[in-house]
Structure 1
């Protein structure tokens, strides 16, 4: 099993806000699969999420919207183990657009509860994670968003499989066409090579409101090839993603650096 401090999702997921008409993401400051691992009680960890879109969507769905295409997102995260099975996190997304202008996009708070953790010898895990985000209107059709759902999977010495099923509610969406939440599935399949190296695939989707999903060509689907490197006191995740539909950014590059700070 990996020593990696495991991840919450997002291209769309924990920190994402999705439209309810078009399913492309308004902003993607964090691109992760949540795999059931938590900080221990009293443990403080800092993470740095960086992702860039060298080729992607630049045309907004409303006047003044700033899209991912040509931009870079840098998001520091601070997480703390509140209990053995409960973790809280804060995120501060900083965004540059295709013209090189930098802005703080908003803030995100997250709570994760994992009542069933994979044992050291390998096994199943199950948990739930919920996030509340407050975004600048230039980056999200709804400035206030609630995102949450469940994560489940299997983790042993050779393989990691994880599935995330999240729902996103735009709490003050000016253009909302449906009160139903958007469905945002994600999946990871990874193979461990020794103590440090992990190779795998990550998938992220957004299909629109659960009551009437968008046609497939208007949905968002991205597949990442990923590399994870795990050391005793730090770990890193790197991935290159390819969008599969016209409502998905063509290419996305992401990296996440995890550094435990200590126990408090």
Structure 2
């Protein structure tokens, strides 16, 4: 009986350790916001098939809508700041303001003429324990991208760190994101996006305890003032929500 209890406690801890944050499902490109410009974005994500039972203090994710407001302002040609307001909509007490993050980001200036785009963001803030057991966190996101004619590739080898919660002593969690797309017309690009979380850096977890998602996605480019991205994602491991739809709409001012 004691062994069963210890096994249950271990699984419960693991569920806390890699609880998903499906609020902002996006692979970043390297360019920052133009100087003096402000972007307002709405990230809308709906979990078609997620967890149906609570994991410790965290509420289940099945049939929940996440609405995130992101406001980004460009201060110079190479520096921007983003601010996030996370919200959840769902039954059984899952409708709430979840938390907020701030994200400064710097980019290598185009005048340096590097062969690839490069930038670095540092996102930090808080979230309620009912939605993420790790209530204070930092994300370091290096961003590398490149466009070859109609083909685009972006890589975000992200590191996550918790300061309050079950992961606070786990070190940095490796959470890579990758995007590849192809311009099928001047206005439409189709591609694949990958989102993962493999566990503490250089001490990765067994595959079914990791998170891996693949999204089929499209980007529309109908105006330099607007941004649109939508996709359908499938979870590939037991620790990942199995089906999610997402949409991002942004407007520059």
Indicate the TM-score class for this superposition, using the shorter chain for normalisation. 0.7 to 0.9
Query: Does the CA contact (< 8 Å) of 1:237 and 1:257 recur in 2?
Result: yes
Indicate the residue corresponding to 2:6 in structure 1: none
Structure 1 gaps of 5+ residues are 1-18
User: How much does 1:177 deviate?
Assistant: 7.4
CA distance in 1, matches of 2:229, 2:70: 15
CA distance in 2, matches of 1:128, 1:235: 21
TM-score w.r.t. structure 2 length? 0.88
Per-residue CA distance 1:73-103 (angstroms, 9 max, x = gap) = 0111111001111110111111023447420
Structure 2 gaps of 5+ residues are 1-11
Equivalent residue pairs, number:
240
Which runs of structure 1 show a deviation greater than 4 angstroms over 4 or more consecutive aligned residues?
116-120
Per-residue CA distance 1:129-166 (angstroms, 9 max, x = gap) = 11012101111111110111311121143111011111
- CA RMSD across the alignment: 2.3
Which of 53, 56, 62 in structure 2 is aligned with 1:59? 53
When residues 191 and 97 of structure 1 are mapped into structure 2, their CA distance, relative to the original with a 3 A threshold, is same
Q: How does 1:1-264 map to 2 (within 5 A)?
A: 21-22=14-15, 24-62=18-56, 64-99=57-92, 101-117=94-110, 123-173=115-165, 175-176=166-167, 178-232=169-223, 233-261=225-253
CA distance in 2, matches of 1:167, 1:66: 24
TM-score w.r.t. structure 1 length? 0.84
> Which protein has the larger Cα radius of gyration, Structure 1 or Structure 2?
2
Q: Which structure's residues are more often helix, by fraction?
A: 2
When residues 158 and 69 of structure 1 are mapped into structure 2, their CA distance, relative to the original with a 3 A threshold, is same
Per-residue CA distance 1:235-263 (angstroms, 9 max, x = gap) = 210000000011000100000001112xx
User: How much does 1:117 deviate?
Assistant: 4.7
User: How much does 1:43 deviate?
Assistant: 0.6
